[in-house]
Amino acid sequence: MLEWIALGVMSEARLESNRWEIEPKGGIVTTLERLTRGAAHSDHLEMGGRTVNAIVKWSVTSSGEVTLERIVRWPMLREKKDDTHAALSVQIKSEADPKLLLDGKPYAPGKAKEFRIQGMLQWTDEHASVRIRRTVFPSTSLPCLLERWEVTNCSKRPITLDTPEPVSEELLPIERFAWAAHRVRREWLGGRARILAPGETATLGLAFSAREEGQPAIHPDLDAEWSARQAYISKLTNDLVLQTGDPVVDRLFAFSKLRAAENVLATRGGLMHAPGGFNRYLAALWCNDQNEYVSPFFPFLGDEGGNESARNAYAWFAKYMNPEFKHIPSSIVAEGRGVWQGAGDRGDAAMTAYGAARWALATGDARLAREVWPFIEWCLEYCERQKTTDGVIASNSDELEGRFSSGKTNLATSCLTYDALISAAYLAEALGEPAAKSRSYRARATELRAAIGRVFGARVAGFETYRYHEGLDKLRSWICIPLVMGIHERAKGTIEALFSPDLWTTDGLLTEVGSKTYWDRSTLYALRGVFNAGEADRAAEHLRRYAERRLLGDHVPYCQEAYPEQNQSHLSAESGLFCRIITEGACGIRPIDFDRFEATPQLPKQWRQLKLDRIHAFGRVWDYLAVRKGKGIELTIKDASGLVVYRESKPVGEPHRVQFR
């Protein structure tokens, strides 16, 4: 039974068009009939652990036959050209799997009845006299992708179960790799011959692993790996818990926490968060994906691996500070052994200063903040040296790296610099820096804000909004970025432009009017920005539409990178951006000290409440609750023991300042 609340934005037609529904246990589920609608259906999803990453492409016919193509990647096993894309990748199709024999005959997929996703892909297959529940998931620590098979004898007679080829290995030649030959191993776990009595269930599994030639094979414990993945999902599910009354938004938030956190890799350069995707962005760091998008989110989630990966990301890029103020690389690649800077300066220093300053404050840890502070200062000085005579910040390109024009100055680089200056002013005060430092940063922010309005403010396509870069007369999705940074002078016209048919589609925002390209990241920024600008009802309406599409539609269950590029990869950092729609958008949380924050809650009429439990920011665990109080909003903050730290009602749009004791 689909758990949902009619919110006025989900019509019966849209509900019927969804292929999936929400499961009360925490996942999403569907039936064969709902999924296929009489025709074959295919999809893919990405999953990761510390030493393995996989995109599982799966297809099901209208009669219920499931086939898999597992694209398994081992990020620390490097191919010859040791660049961004050099992780060992192997495609493993299900028709080539080691055989399972039932009464001496090879098992062939029967009719899949039910499908479920919650950090794992699971389906139940009815086949003659047995029922097989198959679950695909990555190891949390070992370099292997696993499948758990629960085989139940549904007949009234014993059935013989056997795996005649328990292990197969393929040696890949040394010429393909940076330093060694490698072996890819396929192995049945618990696949000994046995007789299955009527009603009895046997558990066995497949493991797909890889290793350097000469290293011992790994022998995963299927039960231990299953328990570890379940425990990891449970831990993330039970921290930073969102309750709005909208089950679709709440469930995509829960899924996004996992996707944001699971792609942290144990590289030779320390823990590194990886974007992932079909382009194998693995064992590599980016100034946008890691420094700007996902690292500032990790203190709120409290995931140890995520927080350590954020610290490492800023430390790695800090190695490229230089006294000549040449731009830092856009990406650290190959576990730290190389860099990529093919697009020149994309505004990378602005991205980094923006993310690092927010992250440092939100950690609540003065020691970590002191480590990254010199790099933040350097990045802001770099940006100051890129200031034009018009007062905005120049860069060679932007995060789209020339896919669309970016001019000599663009809105994103200047707005990121603006917000970074504000956070750096707060951070300077928290660290006890001379008062002149914070005054200087605030003065520069004020001047930059005015310049942004002068240079980029324009009437475009009939809307009082912004041109993305000088000379551009087309609407761009990134006109949303001033809203995110608290620049609301042109909020009304900008929001109208964003939600107009010129830009808004069933998949969110087009990158540019007239194109067919969308990148989820600008949609996710826009939704956060519309909340920030005080248009909570409109933000919630479009958030619901977006969340329903990503969670319950044709390609599920996470935020995507782009279309048509890279086949709508489930890049990890985009899921962090989804979570920030809530933490920084609807909740309006802005760190201003190691134990203080400003919050401007935005509570749309569609939500009963805005409740976020077990937040981990500022070095403690706490709860956030915003409810309507007359014409205003009452904000209650409680610590982990349930003690009320703050409770006050204020008019909508008026910020609260919360100080932890």
Predicted confidence at residue 108, as pLDDT, reads 85
> In sequence order, what DSSP letters do the residues of 279-321 get, joined into one string?
TTB-S-EEIIIIIIIIGGGHHHHT-HHHHHHHHHHHHHHHTT-
Q: Which helix (H) or strand (E) holds 331?
A: strand 331-333
Q: Give me the mean pLDDT over the 82-98 stretch.
A: 94
Predicted confidence at residue 307, as pLDDT, reads 98
| AA letter at 297 | F
Predicted confidence at residue 180, as pLDDT, reads 95
- Closest C-alpha among 210, 31, 67, 239 to residue 138: 210
Query: Is the pLDDT at 6 greater than 80, yes or no?
Result: no
Q: What percent of the chain has pLDDT over 70?
A: 98
Query: Position of tokens 């002149």?
Result: 436
> In sequence order, what DSSP letters do the residues of 137-198 get, joined into one string?
EE-SSSSEEEEEEEEEE-SSS-EEEE-S--EEEEEEPGGGBSS--EEEEEEEES---EEE-T
| AA letter at 237 | T
pLDDT digits 0-9 by tens, 225-272: 999 999 999 999 999 999 999 999 999 999 999 999 999 999 999 999
- With contact defined as beta carbons under 8 Å apart, do 477 and 413 qualify? no
Ramachandran angles phi, psi of 56, nearest 5°:
-100, 110
Predicted confidence at residue 281, as pLDDT, reads 97
Q: What are the structure tokens assigned to 468, written together? A: 């993305």
- With contact defined as beta carbons under 8 Å apart, do 476 and 404 qualify? yes
Q: Give me the mean pLDDT over the 201-208 stretch.
A: 97
Q: Give me the mean pLDDT over the 621-644 stretch.
A: 97
Q: Which helix (H) or strand (E) holds 580?
A: helix 572-580
Strands 41-48 and 28-31: unpaired
May I ask the CATH class of domain 238-597? mainly alpha
Predicted confidence at residue 16, as pLDDT, reads 64
Residue 614 burial by CB count (10 A; 0-12/13-18/19+): exposed, middle or buried? middle
- With contact defined as beta carbons under 8 Å apart, do 29 and 23 qualify? yes
- With contact defined as beta carbons under 8 Å apart, do 582 and 565 qualify? no
pLDDT digits 0-9 by tens, 293-326: 999 999 999 999 999 999 999 999 999 999 999 9
Strands 201-212 and 182-189: antiparallel
Q: What are the structure tokens assigned to 455, written together? A: 């240079």
In the chain, where are the structural domains located?
40-233, 238-597, 598-659
3-state helix, strand, coil in the chain (%, to 5): 35, 30, 35
pLDDT digits 0-9 by tens, 14-56: 556 899 999 998 999 999 999 999 999 999 999 999 999 999 9
| AA letter at 584 | E
Predicted confidence at residue 5, as pLDDT, reads 31
| AA letter at 558 | Y
- Closest C-alpha among 96, 154, 176, 252 to residue 581: 252
Q: By three-state DSSP, how is residue 623 classified?
A: strand
- Closest C-alpha among 393, 312, 410, 413 to residue 359: 312
- Closest C-alpha among 550, 486, 585, 555 to residue 244: 585
For 96, other C-beta atoms within 10 Å of its C-beta total 9
Q: What are the structure tokens assigned to 184, written together? A: 């890819």
Q: By three-state DSSP, how is residue 276 classified?
A: strand
Q: How far apart are the first and last CA of the chain?
A: 45
Q: Which helix (H) or strand (E) holds 442?
A: helix 435-456
Q: What are the structure tokens assigned to 628, written together? A: 């309507």
Using CA atoms, how far residue 170 sits from 89, 208, 291, 391, 487, in Å, is 13, 11, 38, 60, 57
Using CA atoms, how far residue 411 sits from 56, 393, 451, 456, 659, in Å, is 37, 9, 11, 7, 34
Q: Give me the mean pLDDT over the 129-141 stretch.
A: 97
Q: Give me the mean pLDDT over the 514-542 stretch.
A: 98
Instruction: Identify the residue with better confidence: 613 or 164.
Output: 613
Strands 53-60 and 264-267: unpaired
Query: Position of tokens 């067919």?
Result: 516
Query: Is the pLDDT at 1 greater than 90, yes or no?
Result: no
Rounded Cα distance, 34 and 23, in Å: 15
pTM given for the model: 0.96
Predicted confidence at residue 14, as pLDDT, reads 54
